[in-house]
Structure 1
């Protein structure tokens, strides 16, 4: 096992009585990547994150962060990671500043310059930090949780729904912070219910279903396996002899067709050169399309992620 590997999960199973929360999970996250972890509520995301952060001991198998056992070496691990939980249990009777100082001491010290940079980036003022946390809005608590996770300049960020409660401008600021963190060699592992933000931030994702990992892949590779949709509007009506091998006509109405095609659009462009075209658009598959494909035989009501 490489001591430099940020996350390694080896054959991890977690059971609660007869209920299997995680089944034989194997996962490795590389240094410097922003890795997305996707699945509906109850799929096992939070269980996996709690094992990585030392709050749960797996029933079998092992999880490691930088080569250290997540259950047995939590003190050493905590100095190298930052954790943003889903619903942060923050100390309401403390001020924001007191909480940051407390967690800074647990992580091996406080970097005042970095703390100021983080607070400025997320628009958390000195006045805010001096207020009791009970007076914070949900969004302010989320900002505080992110700052406490990043203030000691960790090597790895583990984030469970990091944008929950944040306004769009703060979300954009956070995305910029995470990209800079990754560019500087840091690693980010996060779950999110907003598939578009995972698509914009991540190169690789894992999709978990009923406690089992069903895919671990680069997003661009997942997209290349899914067919695109071409929207074509002809100037003088749909040509009866129009034919493209491997394509499927989804709809044909008012000189306009929707066509399901393979990833390579060159054969389509070649055929269309023989016709008068008013407009053409190609719709790339989204991460949401891919995610729903993996869950297409599930109860749609359960797909809240």
Structure 2
């Protein structure tokens, strides 16, 4: 082949190669651009966690938002009526009055609530894995110093991290338990999603598994099973029959009416009933003070 023909062939091959190289370069440029797109799931979680820092959620706040509050002055009297409990068959128990608090109450006048006959309290400790109640020390320790049997609760956000991660965060920030006879096991607050889908985008099976993850982790870290706070309506929608916890977990049920009504699947009786939010969240323990002490003692 002559030198001139070899030169023309080289030029032709070079020209033909240009579109191929351009195509490859274009594909490479497009491929490298994809990882630079923000992770929408991570962004959503960050957005939720940022909002929690400003608008954290108190126990029952989303239940009242969705289900309403039909409690009346007569509800208080009804809540103090003895209720049957299968823990002590064929026996009717007394009741014990209590309250629950969060950052919205600020520094609580514990002497005042003690004077009104309240004897136990749960205070909010944490939400998700980035919020702690700034008033927790005053509320948790102040109630103890007044003589209350006290505990802490965690507002769950199952769409931001695992049950194990949130149980670990809760225990590390005030949600643990001690056998001093004055500390109740920590409570897991399961209620409507403040940010959208009622069940946090989870199926009943996935929600049940998330709660089980929290339940098992809390027990592994404290030696106690958590109390579960919820409403029958939310539980029916979001957990259903996918998991049952009645064998290990005391039920704290929310219903703002003159009677507690039907209970969530898996429980034959309730341990605590949150019956009104006025003038503060008020609760009744299904048993006398000795039963509250028994729960604290484990």
TM-score normalised by length of structure 2: 0.30
Q: Which protein is bigger by CA-based radius of gyration?
A: 2
More strand by percentage: 1
TM-score normalised by length of structure 1: 0.30
